[in-house]
């Protein structure tokens, strides 16, 4: 049976949305998904039956957006699929369950009242006031307490974590968790550790900018190119002075790429070459070997000697060897 409402009854009626919707889901959900949820919530109050196609027309949204939004809310457990359609879960009950689940965390009151956690309590209070306008959802207390225990962050680091995500308009759990994991992998526990990490990141950004400029790249580096540079600087311990020597080896390449540069730097790293002097001596030895091979070719009377004996290095250091060959021919 189809229910109908008079214009007067709709005019004076209200639809109540739990505050948990705004504190837990609003900031990390797309506008279209929120639009679908609120409209379905409104219709459910009146027991309305509606088809997906009709919903798409009513909300002026593509059918796929409607379907994806329903799956999104279903995945969060706020929409429960039934034989006859969907039912809205009790949001308050869900949040209470998450909050008081003893396997996960403590209640906000216990976190804040324990003498051992007084400094943490102050940090949580600062986070609440600075980033949530004093209305932080209770479940955040449990998450922060869990992150304190998992990552052993100082209070200042925890506040810095939220500030970092807030400044990037990404104050939602998945992003905060990902940043926390990254910081933890870089052995950040104290604010001093974080300072050193920032200095390291600033130096990395400077090197990235210099490499882009020297290669004539008028674009932002891809995440794969960034990963190469992090490998050279963090894993190999190479600075820009060494990287620049490798960049100069790309002049003989029509389309130099990061994979080619990486092969050169990886070769140096495997050989234990750690300074510009050591690298230049190695390159000089390559030139000498190339010159010797050229001489042996002429004496032996065949041309493929160098390829049989030295093909891999000649490919990798073509610019280096080519310049030597030209010098030999000139003599």
pLDDT tens track for 36-56: 888 888 877 777 777 888 888
Residue 5 has pLDDT above 50, yes or no: no
1 located within any domain: no
- φ/ψ of 106, rounded to 5, equals -105, 165
301 located within any domain: yes
Domain boundary residue, one of 228, 246, 270? 270
Residue 253 has pLDDT above 70, yes or no: no
Domain boundary residue, one of 27, 61, 93? 93
CB contact at 8 A, 138 and 95: yes
Domain boundary residue, one of 74, 93, 112? 93
**How many angstroms separate the CA atoms of 249 and 257, rounded?**
11
Q: pTM higher than 0.85 for the full model?
A: no
264 located within any domain: yes
Which of 90, 76, 96 is closest to 138 using CA atoms?
Answer: 96
Are residue 201 and residue 232 in the same domain, yes or no? yes
2 located within any domain: no
Are residue 86 and residue 122 in the same domain, yes or no? no
Residue 268: predicted pLDDT: 94
When divided into structural domains, the chain yields a total of 4
Question: Regarding predicted confidence, which is higher, 37 or 13?
Answer: 37
Average pLDDT (83-96) is: 70
Are residue 11 and residue 89 in the same domain, yes or no? yes
In CATH, what number is assigned to the domain containing residue 149? 1.10.10
Are residue 132 and residue 88 in the same domain, yes or no? no
Residue 160 has pLDDT above 70, yes or no: yes
Are residue 289 and residue 239 in the same domain, yes or no? no
In CATH, what number is assigned to the domain containing residue 56? 1.10.10.10
For the segment 301-313, what is each residue's pLDDT rounded down to a tens digit? 555 544 444 445 5
Q: Give Cα separations from 11 to 14, 49, 143, 220, 307 (angstroms).
A: 8, 21, 41, 53, 87
Look up the domain containing 106 and give its range. 102-189
Are residue 106 and residue 185 in the same domain, yes or no? yes
Are residue 11 and residue 86 in the same domain, yes or no? yes
85 located within any domain: yes
- pLDDT-based confidence at residue 271 (cuts at 50, 70, 90): very high
Residue 237 has pLDDT above 60, yes or no: yes
Residue 15 has pLDDT above 50, yes or no: yes
Average pLDDT (193-221) is: 89
When mean pLDDT is compared across 25-29, 102-106, 265-269, 300-304, the lowest value belongs to 102-106
């Amino acid at each position: 049976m189809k229910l109908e409402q008079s214009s007067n009854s709709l005019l004076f009626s209200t639809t109540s949305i739990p505050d948990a919707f705004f504190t837990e889901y609003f900031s990390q959900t797309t506008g279209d998904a929120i639009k679908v949820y609120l409209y379905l919530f409104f219709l459910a109050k009146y027991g309305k039956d509606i088809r997906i196609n009709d919903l798409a027309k009513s909300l002026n949204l593509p059918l796929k957006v409607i379907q994806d939004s329903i799956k999104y809310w279903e995945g969060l457990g706020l929409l429960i699929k039934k034989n006859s359609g969907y039912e809205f879960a009790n949001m308050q009950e869900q949040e209470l369950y998450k909050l008081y689940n003893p396997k996960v965390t403590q209640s906000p009151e216990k976190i804040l009242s324990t003498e051992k956690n007084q400094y943490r309590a102050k940090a949580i209070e600062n986070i609440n006031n600075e980033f949530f306008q004093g209305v932080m959802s209770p479940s955040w207390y449990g998450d922060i307490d869990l992150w304190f225990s998992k990552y052993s962050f100082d209070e200042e680091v925890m506040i810095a974590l939220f500030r970092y995500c807030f400044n990037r308009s990404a104050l939602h759990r998945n992003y905060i968790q990902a940043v926390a994991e990254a910081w933890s992998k870089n052995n950040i526990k104290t604010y001093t550790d974080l300072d050193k990490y920032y200095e390291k990141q600033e130096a990395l950004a400077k090197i990235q900018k210099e490499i882009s400029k020297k290669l004539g790249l008028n674009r932002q580096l891809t995440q794969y190119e960034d990963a190469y540079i992090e490998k050279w600087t963090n894993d190999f311990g190479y600075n820009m002075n060494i990287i620049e020597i490798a960049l100069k080896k790309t002049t003989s390449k029509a389309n130099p790429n990061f994979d080619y540069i990486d092969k050169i730097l990886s070769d140096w790293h495997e050989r234990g070459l750690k300074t510009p002097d050591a690298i230049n001596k190695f390159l000089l030895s390559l030139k000498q070997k190339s010159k010797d091979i050229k001489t042996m070719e002429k004496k032996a009377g065949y041309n493929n000697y160098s390829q049989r004996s030295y093909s891999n290095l000649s490919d990798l250091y073509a610019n280096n060897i080519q310049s030597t060959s030209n010098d030999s021919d000139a003599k």
